[in-house]
């Protein structure tokens, strides 16, 4: 990759030169500082290239009395504004004077705020001009040992303005012009030469960060994935290329350019951009391909500035064990051990919530002891309470316990209704007794269980399909994807002039070969499989070819919106 110093900036990179930019420096006098106050005077100076090209000044009748303190401060009295034009007459003339210019004001939020409110009151559309605040500019340029503060009078004296501010609009605007020119001279020494540079400078973007926008010059304006890289020494002192950050965008060049502006506000990105020595891009044929490639690159490189690298998804699974007396266990991964799994869950607490929802429906044992029919033990407290089938003391035979565990597998694999039905009576009793907090806990557990079943169905449905070829029509053409065991193995885009079926056949031929995964798991990461599932479930997606059964059991999931109706019954007041 070329060094940033050798890249030739485009005209788009250069921006609007300050030397040819027209500014209108404006100052307002008002009846107060609050949003209910009104304008009493407008003063403005139009400048370009350091030369004054016009001035605008008028008193404004505020339609209210000017407070005595304000009159003392500004020298503007009620008698002076009695015959002055009202804002409705003044503002159109002012906006015509300021047409096409950049607004400049000292403490711009005050002056621009009044202009916005006055325009809104008159139903005049706000043109959203660029605004430069000399207060913010001064804070970024001047050191504390140069000026004690950034008041207009202080800055006017510092830059030796020929006029002194006196709280009259035109005089203060003239003083601000000289302050602006003095500040522009200072920032020019810092490499600020365009309006875009100036606006970024006032927003706190460092010159080093702005200078690196040339890293985006050769990037494509196309969808895909981009990586910020840097040549850094490793632990052995050997300089190697390191991936700092991975992202995706529908327009790579535009997105990367935003990292060098104030649009990017994440603190860690400031550090990342400062370290980066290059940006690499991979154009993708479809948005799904870009999403998947981003996930894979992050997993492969663990970039230090991707949040996903620092906080990877923690996976927990609820497992019904495969042993003579099955029980629930929370594990970190799925094994090929003929167990029945539900998940994954991002937090262990969620796995526990789903487990307790199942315990409310099925009296499975909760102990971890090995149980022997030859040597019966003593039932625990749960067994005495009837919340455990108590196979340990022979209360239930091995055959009957196997029937019970088979019922649990059916709820995990195919039918969630028994779990909801088992909680119906208990929830109704709690609500009748106005024990809403307890009822809320049970409902939350059921919701966690239902979300887990939905997630499990999506993953297992994809994982058992050796191949799915699907397409979706977009403005660019037909997006075509080849999916094998839940893994995206090929992506293609059939342009309007191409035959989608032919493009799909070529994609299928070039697709990655995938070995069958562990039963119940996709041949990709959980997140990739979920992105693929989300795309397949979009309206308008059409199946071209499928090998396997991509299906869900009829009662395998229930919408969370329907949870009250199913858990409480149709006649419940809460269900209604």
d(CA 526, CA 332) in angstroms, rounded, equals: 13
d(CA 218, CA 2) in angstroms, rounded, equals: 10
Question: Collapsing DSSP states into helix, strand and coil, what is residue 530?
Answer: helix
Return the residue matching tokens 């191949």.
Answer: 467
Pairing of strands 316-320, 340-345: antiparallel
Render 22-91 in DSSP notation, one character per residue.
Answer: EEEEEEEEES-SSTT--EEEEEEEEEETTEEEEEEEEE-B-SSPPPHHHHHHH---HHHHTTSPBHHHHH
Pairing of strands 131-133, 102-105: parallel
Please list the alpha-helical segments (H only) found in 338-435.
348-359, 381-384, 398-413, 417-432
Backbone angles phi, psi at 504, to 5 degrees: -65, -40
Render 369-387 in DSSP notation, one character per residue.
Answer: S---SSS-----HHHHTTS
Quickly count: other Cβ atoms within 10 Å of residue 526's Cβ.
18
**Choosing from 167, 178, 301, 441, which is the catalytic residue?**
167
Residue 441: C-alpha distances to residues 312, 352, 418, 561 (Å): 28, 13, 19, 17
Please confirm, yes or no, whether 167 is among the known catalytic residues.
yes
**Lookup: tokens for 543:** 């199946």
Quickly count: other Cβ atoms within 10 Å of residue 152's Cβ.
21
Pairing of strands 224-233, 278-283: antiparallel
Contact indicator for 375, 302 with CB cutoff of 8 Å? no
d(CA 279, CA 247) in angstroms, rounded, equals: 11
**Lookup: tokens for 544:** 């071209």
Tell me the catalytic residues: 167
């Amino acid at each position: 990759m070329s060094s940033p110093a050798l890249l030739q900036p485009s005209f788009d990179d250069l921006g609007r030169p300050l030397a040819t930019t027209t500014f209108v420096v404006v100052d307002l006098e008002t009846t107060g500082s609050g949003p209910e106050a009104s304008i009493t005077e407008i003063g403005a100076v139009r400048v370009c290239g350091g030369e004054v090209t016009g001035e605008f000044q008028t008193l404004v009748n505020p339609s209210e009395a000017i407070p005595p303190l304000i009159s003392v401060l500004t020298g503007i009295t009620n008698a002076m504004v009695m015959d002055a034009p009202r804002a409705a007459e003044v503002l159109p003339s002012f906006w015509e004077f300021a047409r096409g210019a950049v607004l400049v004001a000292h403490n711009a939020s005050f002056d621009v705020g009044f202009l916005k409110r006055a325009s809104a009151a008159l139903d005049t559309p706000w043109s959203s001009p660029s605004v430069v605040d000399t207060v913010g500019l001064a804070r970024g340029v001047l050191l504390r040992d140069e000026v004690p503060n950034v008041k207009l009078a202080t800055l006017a004296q510092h830059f030796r303005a020929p006029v002194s501010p006196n709280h009259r609009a035109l005089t203060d605007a003239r003083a601000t012009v000289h302050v602006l020119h003095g500040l522009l001279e200072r920032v020019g020494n810092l490499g600020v030469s365009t309006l875009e540079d100036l606006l970024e400078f006032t927003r706190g973007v460092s010159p080093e960060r702005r200078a690196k926008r040339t890293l985006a010059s050769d990037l494509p304006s196309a969808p895909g994935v981009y990586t910020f890289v840097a040549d850094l020494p490793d632990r052995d002192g050997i300089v190697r290329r390191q991936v700092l950050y991975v992202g995706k965008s529908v327009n790579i060049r535009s997105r990367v350019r935003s990292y060098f502006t104030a649009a990017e506000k994440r603190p860690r990105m400031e550090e990342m951009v400062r370290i980066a020595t290059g940006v690499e891009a991979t154009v993708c044929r479809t948005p799904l391909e870009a999403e998947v490639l981003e996930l894979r690159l992050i997993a492969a490189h663990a970039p230090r500035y991707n949040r996903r690298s620092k906080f990877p998804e923690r996976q927990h699974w609820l497992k019904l064990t495969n042993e003579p007396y099955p029980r629930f266990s929370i594990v970190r991964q799925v094994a090929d051990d003929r167990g029945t799994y539900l998940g994954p869950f991002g937090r262990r607490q969620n796995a526990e919530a789903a487990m307790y929802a199942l315990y409310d429906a099925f009296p499975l044992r909760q102990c971890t002891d090995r149980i022997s029919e030859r040597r019966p033990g003593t039932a625990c407290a749960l067994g005495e309470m009837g919340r455990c089938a108590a196979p340990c003391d022979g209360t239930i035979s091995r055959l009957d316990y196997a029937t019970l565990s088979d019922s649990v597998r059916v709820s995990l694999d195919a039918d969630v209704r028994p779990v909801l039905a088992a909680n119906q009576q208990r929830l109704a009793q709690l609500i009748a007794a106005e024990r809403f907090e307890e009822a809320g806990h049970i409902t939350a557990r059921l919701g966690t269980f239902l979300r887990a079943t939905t997630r499990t169905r999506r993953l297992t449905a994809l994982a058992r399909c050796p191949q799915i070829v699907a397409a979706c029509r977009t403005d660019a053409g037909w997006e075509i994807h080849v999916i094998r065991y839940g893994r995206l193995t090929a992506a293609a885009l059939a342009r309007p002039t191409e035959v989608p079926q032919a493009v799909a056949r070529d994609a299928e031929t070039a697709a990655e070969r995938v070995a069958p995964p562990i039963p119940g798991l996709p041949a990709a990461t959980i997140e990739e499989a979920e992105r693929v599932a989300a795309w397949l479930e979009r309206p308008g997606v059409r199946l071209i070819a499928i090998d396997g059964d991509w299906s869900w059991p009829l009662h395998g999931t229930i919408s969370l919106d329907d949870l009250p109706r199913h858990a409480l019954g149709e006649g419940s007041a809460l269900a209604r």
